[in-house]
Structure 1
Amino acid sequence: MQSLSYSKLFYGLAMLLVSLASSTSLFAQGGNLHEQSEVYVAPTDPLVQEKLKVWGDQKFGMLIHWGVYAVPGIIESWQLCSEPWLERPEGISYNDYKKWYWNLSSVFNPVNFDPDQWAEAAADAGMKYVVFTTKHHDGFNMFDTQQSDYKITNGPFKNHPKANVAKYVFEAFRDKDFMIGAYFSKPDWHNPDFWWDKYATPDRNVNYDIRKYPEKWKSFQDFTYNQISELMHDYGDIDILWLDGGWVRPRETVTDEVRAWGAPIPEFSQEIDMPRIAEMAREAQPGIIFADRTVHGPYENYQTPERKIPDTKLDNPWETCMTLGNNWGYVPNDNFKTSAKVIHSLVEVVAKGGNMLLGVGPQPDGLLPPDALPILAEIGDWLELNSEAIYGTHALDTYQDGNTWFTANDKETFAITLLEDGKEVPKSISWSGNLPKKGSTLRLVSTGQKLNYTLDGNTVSVQIPSEIRKNARAALAFSFKN
């Protein structure tokens, strides 16, 4: 009788949540955003410095959120949390909702799982690294952890030859020469040593006072250490450990910046013992980059502003993470950005000295959404022609003039003018601030074609031939010596 009632509950809620998908997109951007850190501590390990430089030259990566939340197509994990910015369906108690959510693992069966399709699409988009969600805050593990039974290898997918999902995702992207990132949530709402069922779950934090139950918190620390150790030792070369859940942090690192998030902050420290984890991880994976998001100190090797681009150029390593649609994971009928919008964002990010990590959520069957594929391909088409102006470049002090952005490498400077959708490309394009040397050749990056230009004081005007204007899309990149 219980299984029948939960089956009815599952399907009823699934239909309701699918119908609410558009509203889900609205609150998905609420109180779960990680703001950009304001403090940066540079790593001192030469191997980390070297890998960080390689990563900084990659410029463009794919962030993949995939878990049980893909089945009904809802916001990842967050509806389990009781905070004011969140909404849940009417007519169901909170405890019943949690039981329904946890039970999604019994029907998550991605029989079409194809990590090669994902890697191919990312490569076609011009991406160079991947960050895959091995575990989100809901505690469902997308790898064959031995620390928990709440995992992809313990449900209807367990007999599939690629049931150990993370292993095959990492292998598929390694085959495309991608840098490999493992996303791991520090909070784990399914673990009774984080959310103890003795108490209610009022917010995202651990729901008991760890000062009164230090042995319980030590059990959670060991659990976290052991899971990360599995990822570091059993899944091949890992370049990035991308730790989400920045509210799980030492109490002494909480600043006014962190308080400004609006997230509840307990009086006690939620320290998972990063020094111990870091020592183990770097012994197993020398030079691995840590992205302990917003936790200022030696384990935040780069900063991670979320869903936005910083207002100005940053001199520290950083990465904007944003979504292709409105959501990180799969939501039916999501509104995807155009390829031009993504290209424009990427150009701005790179000109300001950062990388861009673009979120694409696979469907519950294991394939990428079909509507996303042509957009990714169009981005890749532009990047293939204009790669010189993006990969391996650095920011300049003068990084923008209007809708023209500047990047440079050791040999050349690049001016990238963003084009408005539906607007006719002008016969000439002008900018100030970074000018060709007198007598220098100015060329179109995509074709190598030399272009005529004139200099008038601190302004250069480039003549754009008609054949270029007819075929131009998204942005025009120019190269010159300055």
Structure 2
Amino acid sequence: MYKKFVYSALLILLFTTVKAQLKTSDAVMKDFMSMRFGMFIHWGPVSLRGTEIGWSRDKQVSKEEYDSLYKEFDPVLFNADAIVNTAKAAGMKYLTITARHHDGFCLWPSKFTDYNIANTPFKKDVVGALNEACKKQGIKFCIYYSVLDWHHPDYPIHSAHNQTIDPNASMSRYITYMKDQLKELITKYDPYMLWFDGQWESPWTGEMGKDIYAYLKKLKPDVVINNRLGKEFGGVENKNIDLTKMVGDYDTPEQVVGRLNMAMPWESCFTICDQWAWKPNDKMKSLKTCLSILSKTAGGNGNLLLNVGPMADGRIEARQITRLKEIGDWLQLNGAAIYNTSGGPYTPTDNYATTRKGNKIYLHVLNTDTAAIALKNLPSRKIVKAQTMKGEAVAVKNESEYTTIALPPGLAHTTEYIIVLELDGNAETIPVID
């Protein structure tokens, strides 16, 4: 009986060790989270119509028309170097391209389907071009790949707006197709990170997600993988997730800033306009809104993946490039408060967020119309010096429960700015303060 117990215990230990080895290393995840800011790109033939990628198929655009758009897709002004340069000028450290969205169209010349960029008038490999441009400019290259594919005959659902199961479809054949394409993407482009999506529909199961995750880890052990291979993710609801059920390395709240979390890595994805894919005259977020999202995200200990949608000719709109450059200009001065920092110790509010590194807390002043900010006193730490990023001294008043930071009157009603609070000890070990 004892031998059986020992044998069972060894099997459990072995299984646990194997599972642990499958996970992305702590060093890689630390590197990923230190970057804080990346570019998301949603793009494909649908830009010819200006409707939403994937979701407008079988709604604003008929399936037949949507599925034929690739025949006229010829983005002659696409310039991978220019797009990556735009990301770099914005202060972004990584770039994620929708190699295949829910509509099934592939932006690389996949040998496993004819529904790809090689069969358009353009013909050029978009994924490959962006990969090369990222390598040249020192940006991490990442790939988005949808779990579902409404175009593929073996995926059982063929429309977002009609969930009827096709009895002739085969998930086993479809998963083989997925694995073939994912191996192709990893072999050809060696992505730093894979961003999955579309796992919410009924044909896809959590076990399928675990199988794909394990398969990818055998192909490239340290590729970073988000948590949308499984059903457990924050998403647009920003819900609390069960980590025991999560498949992947980090959580993905969508169009909302994630909660402050010092234990679990996360990345919020936002659109710079309203729609993911390009839309004529789409409402664009103000600089103030973009900076607030960035600061609150870093303040919550997360990354921000900010999306742009190139036009049908391959260019990012000039107004979006201008907005991104404005963010980059802000980061030129304030990047120390974003990159390589930890979130907290204070929970972000509409008035402020905080990040920290070493003996410094960076106070992000989001509401520049206020005259002062009151912070709960730090446990076992004192503020010994306070100044703006440009070195202007800031007055600090210590009271029984709160420390009041008097904001410089000359910065009232201006763009968001940072006040550096220097402490008499390590800021990174301070517990979270609500």
Unaligned 5+ runs, structure 2 = 1-18, 233-244, 425-434
Query: Which residue of structure 2 aligns with residue 409 of structure 1?
Result: 357
Work out which of the residue numbers 281, 284, 293 in structure 2 matches 1:336. 284
Q: Does 1:165 align with 2:97?
A: no
Q: Counterparts of 2:287 and 2:140 in 1: how far apart (Å)?
A: 23
Q: Does 1:319 align with 2:296?
A: no
Amino acid at match of 2:144: Y
Of residues 389-398 and 356-365 in structure 1, the stretch that sits farther from structure 2 once superposed is 389-398
Query: Which residue of structure 2 aligns with residue 129 of structure 1?
Result: 94
Deviation at 1:203, TM superposition (A): 4.4
Q: Counterparts of 1:439 and 1:322 in 2: how far apart (Å)?
A: 34
Q: Does 1:193 align with 2:154?
A: yes
Q: Does 1:116 align with 2:81?
A: yes
**Maintained 8 Å contact 1:246/1:292:** no
Q: Counterparts of 1:202 and 1:393 in 2: how far apart (Å)?
A: 40
Moved over 6 A (4+): none
How many residues align? The count is: 392
Describe the shift of the 1:279–1:464 C-alpha distance in structure 2 as closer, same or farther (beyond 3 A).
closer
Deviation at 1:463, TM superposition (A): 4.4
**Maintained 8 Å contact 2:22/2:217:** no
**Maintained 8 Å contact 2:382/2:423:** no
Deviation at 1:131, TM superposition (A): 1.1
Q: Does 1:433 align with 2:383?
A: no
Describe the shift of the 1:63–1:43 C-alpha distance in structure 2 as closer, same or farther (beyond 3 A).
farther
**Maintained 8 Å contact 2:258/2:267:** no
The aligned runs of 1:35-46 (5 Å cut-off) are 45=22
Describe the shift of the 1:412–1:271 C-alpha distance in structure 2 as closer, same or farther (beyond 3 A).
closer
Work out which of the residue numbers 361, 366, 374 in structure 2 matches 1:418. 366
**Maintained 8 Å contact 2:23/2:249:** no
Q: Counterparts of 1:400 and 1:79 in 2: how far apart (Å)?
A: 36
Deviation at 1:244, TM superposition (A): 0.7
**Maintained 8 Å contact 1:315/1:353:** no
Describe the shift of the 1:207–1:401 C-alpha distance in structure 2 as closer, same or farther (beyond 3 A).
closer
Deviation at 1:284, TM superposition (A): 3.4
Unaligned 5+ runs, structure 1 = 1-41, 82-86, 90-96, 249-264
Q: Counterparts of 2:309 and 2:221 in 1: how far apart (Å)?
A: 30
Query: What SS does the aligned partner of 2:316 have?
Result: coil
Query: Which residue of structure 2 aligns with residue 79 of structure 1?
Result: 56
Query: Which residue of structure 2 aligns with residue 217 of structure 1?
Result: 171
Query: What SS does the aligned partner of 2:418 have?
Result: strand
Deviation at 1:151, TM superposition (A): 0.7
Query: What SS does the aligned partner of 2:99 have?
Result: strand
Cα deviation 1:29-72 (Å, max 9, x = unaligned):
xxxxxxxxxxxxx9655753221111111111111000011111
**Maintained 8 Å contact 1:125/1:378:** yes
Query: What SS does the aligned partner of 2:143 have?
Result: strand
The aligned runs of 1:230-269 (5 Å cut-off) are 230-235=184-189, 237-248=190-201, 265=202
Deviation at 1:136, TM superposition (A): 0.6
Query: Which residue of structure 2 aligns with residue 303 of structure 1?
Result: 251
Q: Counterparts of 1:185 and 1:130 in 2: how far apart (Å)?
A: 17
Q: Counterparts of 2:275 and 2:330 in 1: how far apart (Å)?
A: 24
Query: Which residue of structure 1 aligns with residue 60 of structure 2?
Result: 88
Q: Say what the alpha-carbon RMSD is for the aligned residues.
A: 2.7
Query: Which residue of structure 1 aligns with residue 166 of structure 2?
Result: 208
Q: Counterparts of 2:295 and 2:393 in 1: how far apart (Å)?
A: 22
Describe the shift of the 1:206–1:53 C-alpha distance in structure 2 as closer, same or farther (beyond 3 A).
farther
Query: What SS does the aligned partner of 1:344 have?
Result: helix
Deviation at 1:468, TM superposition (A): 4.6
Describe the shift of the 1:469–1:78 C-alpha distance in structure 2 as closer, same or farther (beyond 3 A).
closer
Query: Which residue of structure 2 aligns with residue 350 of structure 1?
Result: 298
Query: Which residue of structure 2 aligns with residue 377 of structure 1?
Result: 325
Q: Does 1:443 align with 2:387?
A: yes
Q: Counterparts of 2:420 and 2:218 in 1: how far apart (Å)?
A: 44
The aligned runs of 1:147-158 (5 Å cut-off) are 147-158=112-123
Instruction: Using the aligned pairs only, state the percent identity.
Output: 27
Q: Counterparts of 1:189 and 1:205 in 2: how far apart (Å)?
A: 10
Query: What SS does the aligned partner of 1:329 have?
Result: coil
Q: Counterparts of 2:31 and 2:296 in 1: how far apart (Å)?
A: 20
Describe the shift of the 1:217–1:359 C-alpha distance in structure 2 as closer, same or farther (beyond 3 A).
same
Cα deviation 1:434-462 (Å, max 9, x = unaligned):
559557121212x1333333323333344
Describe the shift of the 1:193–1:399 C-alpha distance in structure 2 as closer, same or farther (beyond 3 A).
same
Query: What SS does the aligned partner of 2:171 have?
Result: helix
Of residues 283-292 and 72-81 in structure 1, the stretch that sits farther from structure 2 once superposed is 283-292
Amino acid at match of 1:441: K
Cα deviation 1:352-392 (Å, max 9, x = unaligned):
12111111101111110111011111111111111111111
Q: Counterparts of 1:194 and 1:402 in 2: how far apart (Å)?
A: 43
Cα deviation 1:67-124 (Å, max 9, x = unaligned):
011111101111235xxxxx537xxxxxxx2111111001110000111111111111
Describe the shift of the 1:43–1:53 C-alpha distance in structure 2 as closer, same or farther (beyond 3 A).
farther
